């Protein structure tokens, strides 16, 4: 085990196995895992809809995982560099739907992308629940 600090970001709405898998993979890269959970306002600005679970619930779920060490609300996509520096992250890890999008931070930390877990997404769960 190294002593690296790993940071990742996400909405983690209607928490599912894809979220669990990526957080587990992120944790395996280092010693400390820090997770930025998108605030409701940020989520609305990204996706034009409110998340199903409010931000405090999403944060509480992520925080409860044994391999998550620190959580905070990600208030703005533009603050990523600030967050990486503030939390002294050595590695930024994300799912590969973000492939290449965060390479600009490779001057301050390593940037890693993991393959997404196939066949599961919050959008799909919402569609199934609505009977679409
Ligand atoms: N994920 C995954 N497999 C899935 C679904 C999601 O690996 N089947 C990963 C995504 O790639 C992401 C993380 O789980 O790394 C969180 O996904 P979302 O909750 O959809 O997060 P998103 O809305 O993409 O927010 O600043 C970046 C954003 O805050 C990321």
Q: Which residue minimizes the CA distance to atom 28 of ligand 1? A: 10
CATH number for position 24: 3.40.50.620
- Structural domain count of the chain: 1
Per-residue pLDDT of 38-58, as tens digits, reads 999 999 998 898 999 999 999
Cα(131) to centroid of ligand 1, in Å? 23
* Pocket lining: 101 vs ligand 1, CB cutoff 6 Å: no
pTM value > 0.75: yes
Domain extent, residue 70, equals: 5-130
Per-residue pLDDT of 88-104, as tens digits, reads 999 999 999 999 999 99
**Burial of residue 126, with CB atoms counted within 10 A of its CB: 0-12 exposed, 13-18 middle, 19 or more buried:** middle
């Amino acid at each position: 085990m190294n002593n690296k600090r790993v940071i990742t970001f996400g909405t983690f709405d209607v928490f599912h196995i894809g979220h669990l898998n990526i957080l587990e993979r992120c944790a395996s890269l280092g010693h400390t895992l820090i997770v930025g959970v998108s605030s409701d306002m940020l989520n609305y600005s990204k996706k034009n809809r409110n998340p199903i679970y409010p931000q405090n619930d999403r944060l509480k779920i992520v925080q409860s995982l044994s391999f998550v060490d620190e959580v905070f609300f990600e208030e703005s996509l533009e603050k990523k560099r600030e967050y990486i520096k503030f939390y002294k992250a050595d590695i930024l890890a994300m799912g590969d739907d973000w492939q290449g999008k965060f390479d600009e931070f490779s001057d301050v930390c390593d940037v890693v992308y993991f393959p997404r877990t196939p066949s599961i997404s919050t959008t799909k769960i919402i569609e199934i629940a609505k009977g679409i």
